[in-house]
Structure formats: structure tokens, C-alpha cells
Chains A and B, each alone.
Chain A
Amino acid sequence: MILILSTSELETSTDEVVVWLKKMKADFVRLNGDDIIDYFKFELFNDAPKFWIKDKINNREVSSDEIKIVWYRRKINNIADKVCKFKPNSIEDFQNVLGINSYHYDELIGLYEVLELSLQNVIWINKPTQKINKILMLLEAKKAGVNIPYTFIQNTSPLPINKYITKPIKEVKVFKDEFHYYPMYTSEPSEQKKSFFPSLFQEKIEKKYEIRSFYLDGDFYSIAVFSQQNENTKVDYRNIFGDKDVDISIHNSCAYTIPKSLEEKLKKLMNKFKLKSGSIDLIKGVDEKYYFLEVNTVGQFGNVSDIGKYNLEKKIAEKLIYYDN
């Protein structure tokens, strides 16, 4: 049986794969973050750990013994709000609620680790606990023979401006209010600051175009994004409307084939990190070299699929069924 670990909201890509799985009459169960808190049993037997979950669609209990392949899409998000319904009235309360939420979140992470422990001998399209450190990734990419931008972290002035970009050492955070989302983008520091938090900087590569490559079990599906025509998106192509929505479809973009030699190097890199799938960000520099930026293991692939006409949703469904048999 195929197990899909996902969330119920904002998962169009997963929804579409599920439609294919149904059409192909696959044996699968989709477990959204919220479902875990509704129904979960785990026992530590002498020989092996084992869990039971509920398949809501078919209204049946599924045990870990039945699962042969796991497609891990998303960890729970916002689920903490659903567990702790207390509305804070003071700053102290507010901080306690934050504490309770972060406790529940950690507990859920613990549950995912238990899921993983109970499914040691099955194939994972990516293990949730697989650590993807950006810096380590760059280091390994370099070892595999792929160009990377010169990278450093500092908090001493002067701030490197003009020739450098900055992005988080770990993950981007999205802030929101009633009306808008405020995601973080890769940007260029433009003015001097006396003091700043230790930040990651990278040499700004003059790019001809950006490449987003979806990797699935040895195969690469790439698109080129010509973001240079638009001032806003020169640094980060996701930043189309200044700082509003994230959507690359209105860009000039097209299906693209990366060279075999680059594929081989990237494949080595993905294997090194035991990644069966991921979205790889690359740049083709004006110097005609390919630069590796980073890998997103749980990123959306709808755009790449649509622009490149790759029908990735179908290909993923086929891949899951292949490993289930």
C-alpha cells in the first residue's frame, strides 16, 4: 500500500496525484496532519514497532505492516492552533500559548519520527528526518563538481552590498495578516547597516536565466525561467508583484534540458542525501556556467509540470504504484 503524508490545505499538487492514483486503481492511503491527531495508535513490540492509522476515504484501519512506499509531502502546519484553542488576553498568556503550540508541534514531529521508525524497511520519497543543511548541500555539490556561488556568513560591517545577495541560513518564513502574505525573498542588501544578525551572503551570479529542475528517482524535468526582463524578479523570480503573490506562470519560461554531465553530478548529490525527489534551483550564468543554488525537498511542482508539459502528477502516481508492486 502507498502512504501519502500530506496536509489537507493548499496541496493542489498532491490532490492531482491522488486523482491519478484513483484512476489507476492504486491501493493508497492519504494521511493529512489533522488525521493523525484524530486517530493514531502505536505499539512497541519486542521485534518491531508498529502503528495503526485511519484511512478516512475508505473508512478502514491501516497498519504499518501493509505499507510498502511512503510519499512524504508536507509536515503539519498550523495544526497547533487546532490543538490549543485558548485565546490569550495578555502578553504572558500569549507567550504561554506560543509555548504550548511549539510543544505540540514538537510532539507531532515526534509522531512523524515514530512513523518513520515503524517503516524502516520501506521506500520513502524522502524521509522527514533527513537533514538538508543548505551549507552542507553546497559543499557536497562542489565536491560533486557543480559550480556554486561564493558563500559566507557574517555580521560584521560593512555589509556586503552590490555584488551579493542574502537569504536565510535555514528556511524562509512567511508572515501574514488579515489581507496579505509576506513571504521572504532572496534579495540584495542595498544600504549599509551598523549592526545586523549573522546572515548568509552569496556572490550574485549574473544570470542568463534560472532553471528549476524537478528530480524524481533518477530523472530530471526542467524549465528555464527568463526572469531578467523584469526588474522586480532579477534577484528572485518568485518576487513578481513586488512582495505579493508567488506565481511564476506569467513569466517567460519554457521546457528545458540540462546537460547529461550536470544530471550525473546532481544525481550523485541527491543520492548522497538519500533524496528520491526534490526541486533543484540552478542558474545559468552569463559566463555560460551552471550554478547550483539549493534543493527543496517538499516544494510544489505544479508550475514545472504545467510549463514543461511534463504531466508530473501522472508520473509520480506511476512511480508510487511501481514501488508498491
Chain B
Amino acid sequence: MIQKEKYIYLYTHCRTTRGESRSIIYDLEKEGYDFIPNSLHEIINRFNGYPIDEILMNFETDEKKIILGYFEFLIDKGFCFLSKNKIPITNTTEKYEYAEEILNCIIDVNKDSNHDFYKISTEINDIGIPYIQLRFFDKVTSDYLIGVLKKFHNTQCRHIELIVPYTISLDNKIENVLEINSRLQSVIYHSCKEEKVRRYGKGEIYYYKSVITDESHCGKNDPLFFTMNKRFHDLSIYANTCLFKKISIDKEGNIKNCPSLTSNFGNISTVSLSRALMKSEFKELWYINKEQVEICKTCEFRNICTDCRAYRESESLYSKPSKCNYNPITMKWGKVGD
């Protein structure tokens, strides 16, 4: 039974987002969410840090019981807590700041690619990019991967991720690849027969069935890809959670914000990454956030869902991602293409 004289608080790492037909409440540390009615979203945001009996004074007798039930649910699930006294919790309006000009870089490679990885790694180092994703569409040998990774030996990046088609011969020697560069912490296989995850040293090896033949596999919106952490949430409010501070080199060597986008800022064989970045249009999409995107702006998932500006429903830069089939009005997920 809830003691009504106590103050009720929403933990600062728990947030709510209001949608067209319902709201969600989520925990940015334990990474879980629950649906709540829009009325509860209003109550939480209006009365956070109030004594329960004072909150109840605002409601009719028959509503009071329902509200106490809501509060019990919120406390049970660990979204809210009670305190005998007022707590000087700071609800900061600050946002996380990033010293890095670019946070991540995607490099696409297929059998026709002709990248100079030494030049690329030097330029990545000049900018100081902390995360690199190397995405291979065609089969490669372990020796080839080792050769590529060796070019990244002297960079100051913190994390390298490898996406590569599965072959038995590569998997047999993947340990040698992982050992070549301590920053390589995850290998993601596509085109596998079965799905599994395996740990290796500090890193993880993921096996996925999906076949990735080019960049067009990307941009799907699905609960599987929801991200619940404080930095992502923070970013979702003012920037694009996918394109912000991202630079890419597509399979042909073209420098882009994302390989799936059409805007091209020159080829890596003749233009440096830093030079491409200086073009003002490069950052054009960085600050398009879900509050501005059609449909998404009424969706309860908008602060935990990724946003793709490459595959859109219409020409408008603010149209809904075409690979999303969620309807915030009916609250139903349809099949792709619905």
C-alpha cells in the first residue's frame, strides 16, 4: 500500500514520450519500456516530485483509485520511487557535448572497390574519429582483412566494427583477424546459415542470416533496433540519431554523410575527408530530428527509434522513413510495404 504523504519521483534516467494514441515510459539504463496511457504521461510530467496526497487532491474520488494503481505500477517497475522528504534532484536542461567533429565513419567495400586504406586511415586519424565501421558486401579472406586492419594500426580510434559475409574459411581464422588490432571489438557476419553470438576475448562475434549485398539493406525501423540510452535520447531531441557527426565512404569511394544518401562530396581518391566536411551542405541533415518528421512526430517511439533520411516516403526531407511500417494511430506494426 502506498503511503500517501510521500513524494513520488520519476528517476532521471526514466523518461516518457507522448504518442498520438498512447505514451511510453522507458528506462535509459536498464533498457526497458512499457506503454502507458497519455493521461498518465500528463500526470507524471505535471506532478513529478509532488507529495501523493497533494496530487490526489486534483482528482475526483473515482479517479483517485486508478491513479494510485498507476503509481503502484510505476514503482513496481522501477520507473518511480517514493521519498519521505523532498529530494534536490537536478533536472538539467544541458545536453551532452562532443569534442569530436565526427563520431563515426562507415567504409563500404565490395569486390570492385579500390580504396587506399592507408590514405583513409591517415585522414580518419587527422579528424580524430573514434568509431569506424568497415562493411564488406563480398567474400573476403582473413589475409585480406588483416592487410586492411594493419593500415589502421596507428590511428587513435577507439572502436572498429567489421561487417563481413560469412565463409567457413574466414570463420576458422577469425581469431587471427581479431588479434591483429585491439580496437576491433566486434565482428558481424551476414549471410550465415544460423544465428548466434559468440564471445572472443574482449570482443563479440555475431552471426546473422540476412544477406547484405549493398548499402540498401539499411534504414529499417523495428523494435529490434530501438536504442535506450541517455546519449541517444539526448540526441534524438535536437539532432538526427543516425546521421549526426557521421561520415561515410561508399563502395565506389564517394564521400557522403551516409552511403545510402545521394549527395556526394567528392571521391576519396582525389578529395580528403576534411575537405569534404568543409562543404556546408555536408551537415545539412544532421539536425533533422523526429520532432520535425511527418508521422514520426506523433509516434511514441520517436526518442528511442533511429531515423533514416535516405529511404523516405516522398521527396520531402521531412517525410516518414519508408522502411517503417508502424502506425501511431492504430498502434500496429504492418508488413513492410503496407
Residues of A within 8 A of B (CB): 16, 19-20, 22-23, 208-209, 224, 226, 229, 249-259, 288, 306-311, 313-314, 317
Contacts and interface: CB of A to CB of B under 8 A. Distances in A.
A310 B94 contact: yes
Contact of A314 (B11, B13, B87, B99): B99
B90 interface: yes
A176 to B, nearest CB: 15
Range for the number of chain B residues in contact with chain A: 20 to 34
A307 B29 CA distance: 10
Nearest to B96: A309
Nearest to A311: B97
B99 A313 contact: yes
A19 B100 contact: yes
B154 interface: no
A252 B89 contact: no
A19 B88 CA distance: 33
B61 interface: no
B64 interface: no
A255 B81 contact: no
B100 A224 contact: no
Given A252-B81, A255-B92, A307-B13, 18 more contacts: A19-B128, A22-B128, A23-B99, A224-B87, A249-B29, A250-B29, A252-B11, A252-B29, A254-B12, A254-B13, A254-B90, A255-B90, A309-B94, A309-B95, A309-B96, A309-B230, A311-B94, A313-B99
A162 B221 CA distance: 53
B318 to A, nearest CB: 28
A311 B95 CA distance: 8
12 contacts: A23-B101, A209-B87, A229-B78, A249-B29, A250-B29, A255-B92, A257-B88, A257-B90, A288-B85, A306-B230, A309-B94, A309-B234
A229 B29 CA distance: 15
Give 8 nearest A-B pairs by CB, closest first.
A254-B12, A255-B90, A19-B99, A20-B99, A23-B99, A257-B88, A311-B97, A309-B94
Report whether over half of chain B's contact residues are helix, strand or loop; otherwise say mixed: loop
Interface string B18-41: 000000000001100000000000
Contacts of B29: 249-252
A31 to B, nearest CB: 18
Contacts of B11: 252, 254
Interface of B: 11-13, 29-30, 78, 81, 83, 85, 87-92, 94-97, 99-101, 128, 230, 234
Contacts of A310: 94
Contacts of B101: 23
Given A19-B128, A255-B12, A224 B89 contact: yes
Contacts of A311: 94, 96-97
Contacts of A256: 87-90
Contact of A254 (B30, B89, B99): B89
Contacts of A224: 87, 89
B97 A314 contact: yes
Contacts of B81: 226, 252
B99 A253 contact: no
A16 B92 contact: no
Contacts of A208: 83
A196 to B, nearest CB: 38
Contacts of A258: 88
Given A306-B230, A314-B99, A252 B90 contact: no
B100 to A, nearest CB: 6
A235 to B, nearest CB: 20
Contacts of A309: 92, 94-96, 230, 234
A308 B90 contact: yes
B122 to A, nearest CB: 15
A20 B101 CA distance: 11
Contacts of A20: 99
Nearest to B12: A254
Nearest to A254: B12
A16 B99 contact: yes
B256 to A, nearest CB: 24
Contact of B78 (A252, A257, A307): A252
B88 A252 contact: no
Contacts of B128: 19, 22
Choose among B12, B78, B94, B128 the residue with the greatest number of A CB atoms under 10 Å from its CB: B12
Contacts of A249: 29
Nearest to A286: B84
A253 B88 CA distance: 13
A209 B82 CA distance: 13
Contacts of B30: 250
Contacts of A226: 81
B3 to A, nearest CB: 15
Contacts of B92: 255, 308-309
